[in-house]
Amino acid sequence: MSQMEEDKVACLPRLSRVAVCGGTHGNELSGVYLVRELLKAKKKVMEEKEPVLMVLSNPRAMQQCSRYIDTDLNRCFTQATLNGPTSDLAPYEIIRSRQLNVMLGPKGSPEAVDLICDLHNTTANMGLCFITYSDSDWICLHIFRHLQRQMPDVPMRYINFDISHKESYSLDSVGKHGFAMEIGPQPHGVVRSNIYRVMKDAVLHMLDWVHFFNSGTIFEGGFVDVFTVVRHIDYPRERETRNIIAAIHPQLQDRDFCLLHPGDALFQTFSGETLSYNGNEPLYPFFVNECAYYEKGIALYLARKRHVMIPVIRVQTEKEQQINKEGFESEEE
Ligand SMILES: [Zn+2]
């Protein structure tokens, strides 16, 4: 590698502590059963590699096979919620989010785990998606590209919720790096072996990548398609009762990530009328008819696709890590 090429390499700290979480939503069963399985197989699978923290995030919701007990756990990880006043009467998920923040964080601190992969399922026909809050987290983007290469038959997309002006509230935001791995279609409360298998392979490939990275492998740069969320659309509803009056149109159902053009069919009312997409640009729909989003007032999300350049990366040498740690002191001298 020439000096000029060497200059473009992003040198990132070692990923010493990695966590894989399942059951953040208690009825998304691939992650629940995968974490249980990895806990059993832990010694065999990972003894010679990095230690991995396996976490069942919402045990009470898992027990009841429901998304949550009192409130959506995956919306609780803001500084305000994590550090607010404590009370025995607090919703279960608020209490649980604080326990997880102790275990995996504290969020935003140097003690936080280096990488969190939080496992989810969707009822939408989305294949495997990374859900992230940054389009410049080179670790997550490189892991994604590694999975694309290792599992070429699995449709895979990288989704970025741009929250530049807000704080992320998901469990994976507690780690220094993190993403949700969302796989579907699978009904909630059901485990399908094909979906489970994809999740298991993806997690094992991710752990391999972390091991390669920590061992000093240099990963070449390149491009990744990133789907940046533009907005969401709710179901058409009756003004007074708020009951929905239409379902996703058959021409859109199961067609996540197929470009939706202005004028294309969006909903079919229960009386049989077609309602069209009236946006002014073609966008990519996803989370189409996700079961858990009826209560959130979301029938689908729409995203724009962008080509994002990712740099060559490698792990920092011990000397570089030391210099980084001492950075402040030496600058002052
Ligand atoms: Zn979920």
- Report the range of poorest mean pLDDT among 48-57, 106-115, 194-203: 48-57
Q: What's the gap in Å between 120 CA and the centre of ligand 1?
A: 4
Domain with CATH 3.40.630.10 in the chain: 3-221+311-332
Task: Tell me what pLDDT residue 7 has.
Answer: 60
CA of 181 to the centre of ligand 1 (A): 9
**Rounded distance, CA 289 to CA 167, Å?**
26
**34 contacts 199 by C-beta, under 8 angstroms:** yes
Mean pLDDT of the chain: 93
Percent of the chain with pLDDT strictly greater than 90: 85
CA of residue 228 to ligand 1 center, whole Å: 19
- Four-residue CA torsion sign, 34, 38, 41, 46: positive
Q: How confident is the model at residue 331, as a pLDDT?
A: 46
pLDDT of 3 above 70: no
Mean pLDDT of 168-189: 97
- At 266-290, the pLDDT tens digits run 999 999 999 999 999 999 999 999 9
Q: Which of 39, 56, 19, 62 is nearest to 191 (CA)?
A: 62
Ordered strands of the 274-276 beta sheet? 246-248, 265-269, 274-276
Query: What does the alpha-carbon distance between residue 285 and residue 8 come to, in Å, rounded to a whole number?
Result: 35
- For residue 333, pLDDT over 50 is answered with no
Into which CATH architecture does domain 3-221+311-332 fall? 3-Layer(aba) Sandwich (3.40)
Q: CA neighbours within 13 Å on the CB side: how many for 90?
A: 17
pLDDT of residue 319: 85
> Is the predicted pLDDT of residue 167 greater than 80, yes or no?
yes
The DSSP string of 88-126 is TTS-HHHHHHHHHHHHH--TTSTTS-SEEEEEEE-SSS-
Q: How far is the CA of 129 from the centre of ligand 1 (A)?
A: 12
Q: What is the pLDDT of residue 282?
A: 98
Distance separating alpha carbons of residues 182 and 118, to the nearest angstrom: 8
Q: How far is the CA of 291 from the centre of ligand 1 (A)?
A: 10
Q: How far is the CA of 73 from the centre of ligand 1 (A)?
A: 10
Query: Phi and psi dihedrals of 55, rounded to 5?
Result: -130, 130
User: Which residue spans of the chain are classified as CATH 2.20.25.160?
Assistant: 227-307
Expressed in angstroms and rounded, the spacing between residue 166 Cα and the centre of ligand 1 is 21
- Whole-number Å distance between alpha carbons of 268 and 250: 8
Please count the CA atoms within 13 angstroms of the CA of 112 that sit on its side-chain side: 19
- 59-77 confidence digits (pLDDT tens): 999 999 999 999 999 999 9
Residue 114 has pLDDT above 80, yes or no: yes
If one compares 317 and 131, the residue with the highest pLDDT of the two is 131
Domain 227-307 has CATH 2.20.25.10: no
Q: Is 50 exceeded by the pLDDT of residue 174?
A: yes
**44 has a pLDDT exceeding 80:** no
Segment 165-190 mean pLDDT = 96
27 vs 74: CA distance, rounded Å: 13
Q: Is 328 helix (H, G, I), strand (E, B) or coil?
A: helix
Neighbours of ion ligand 1 (CB under 5 A): 25, 28, 120
Give the β-pairing of 274-276 and 300-310: unpaired
Q: How far is the CA of 245 from the centre of ligand 1 (A)?
A: 26
Q: Which residue has the higher pLDDT, 327 or 291?
A: 291
CA–centroid distance, 74 to ligand 1, in Å, is: 8
CA of 118 to the centre of ligand 1 (A): 9
CA–CA dist 62, 67 (Å, integer): 8
Q: How far is the CA of 25 from the centre of ligand 1 (A)?
A: 5
Count each helix (H run) and each strand (E run) in the chain, helices first. 8, 14
User: Is residue 127 scored above 90 in pLDDT?
Assistant: yes
pLDDT at 332: 43
pLDDT level of residue 89 (50, 70, 90 thresholds): confident
Q: In this predicted structure, what is the pLDDT of residue 76?
A: 96
Question: How much distance in Å is there from the Cα of 75 to the middle of ligand 1?
Answer: 11
What is the Å distance from ligand 1's center to 147 Cα? 20
Distance 289 CA to ligand 1 centre (A): 14
Lowest mean pLDDT across 83-92, 176-185, 224-233, 310-319:
83-92
How far does residue 197's CA lie from ligand 1's centre (Å)?
18
- Are the C-beta atoms of 224 and 64 separated by less than 8 Å? no
